[in-house]
Amino acid sequence: MKLLVTGGAGFIGSNFVQYILAQYPEDEVVTLDALTYAGNLENLKLVEENPRHQFVKGDIGDGTLVDGLVANCDAVVHFAAESHVDRSIMNPGAFVETNVHGTYVLLEAAKKYNKRFHHVSTDEVFGALAPDDVPFNEMTAYDPRSPYSASKAASDHLVRAYFHTYGLPVTISNCSNNYGPYHFPEKLIPLAITNLMEGKTVPVYGDGLQVRDWLYVEDHCLAIDLVLRKGKIGETYCIGGDAEETNIAIVKKLLALLGKDESAIEYVTDRPGHDRRYAIDFSKIKTELAWQPTVTLEEGLIKTVEWFKQNEAWWKSVKSGDYQKYYEQQYGKR
């Protein structure tokens, strides 16, 4: 199989590219990435000499480029997206352009050539849960709360529309919060790890009691692969880590792993529209495709901390660039 992986130089996409090339000796991967702030060729360094991998720098909104790439692949796995809620609050237009219009361009090309299309989405499209609410599942109504989640919800609806209207062979997956190698250090876990390694404080929004379900990225890659190859066309699959935890508890676990005390925590003003709880019921993918997470939260945090310790040059180069300017705008210089 020859896959076109959009956003393959980003966090989850690069892990997926490496996973596919390692697991399937006959498969080929073409990675399409615009190399915006979160896309990094260093994320693909382990496969840059692999003859079965080709990197193409470009925008998913470029119809001519996308048409040629889709024509020459067997399936599209669509990761490319603007993904950080804080950035969406400051600049929602970029999220609409990439997440909605970019998905439309890809769908048009996939329709033209009748290509298999898997769309990677998020649990944030479902809104927020109260403490006693049942977890999100494939039948949960959409209720996005931020420009980011609204743009992802729109793209999900577009993908479904192309299945129902044109018969395009699609699947969708909605995942919980990923973490692991190559995680861009604006999100909670990599930001906390790298700040602590630099002797800085860790900013925690509000009271830190927001609950998230945490999914180790390698488990997510396996789930996407199963949905791509064995999932039912036209269906959605929710992918969760079976690891609900508060943000402040995550930070305290990382403090312990890095030998720091709670004086390193800095509570900051909560962001607008901050969802209180997410949780995923992944029983459908467990029943139909025999998938379930294999890495516990404790194991995953240990693995992630160790990866960041061993790849200090990677994250220091990332934090010294565009992200550092953003970080200082939000929290000031440390």
188 neighbors 163 (Cβ within 8 angstroms)? no
Given the residues 33, 59, 82, 123, select the one marked as catalytic.
123
Given the residues 148, 237, 278, 323, select the one marked as catalytic.
148
Annotate 244-284 with DSSP letters as a single string: EEEHHHHHHHHHHHTT--GGGEEEEPPPTT---B--B--HH
Residue with tokens 């395009």: 168
Given the residues 124, 219, 225, 244, select the one marked as catalytic.
124
Assign 243 to helix, strand or coil.
coil
244: annotated active-site residue: no
148: annotated active-site residue: yes
123: annotated active-site residue: yes
Eight-state DSSP code of residue 208: S
197 neighbors 309 (Cβ within 8 angstroms)? yes
25 neighbors 227 (Cβ within 8 angstroms)? no
β-strand partners of 149: none
- The pair of three-digit structure tokens given for residue 214, joined into one six-digit string: 């945490």
The Cβ-side half-sphere exposure at 9, using a 13 Å CA radius, reads 21
Catalytic residue ranges: 123-124, 148
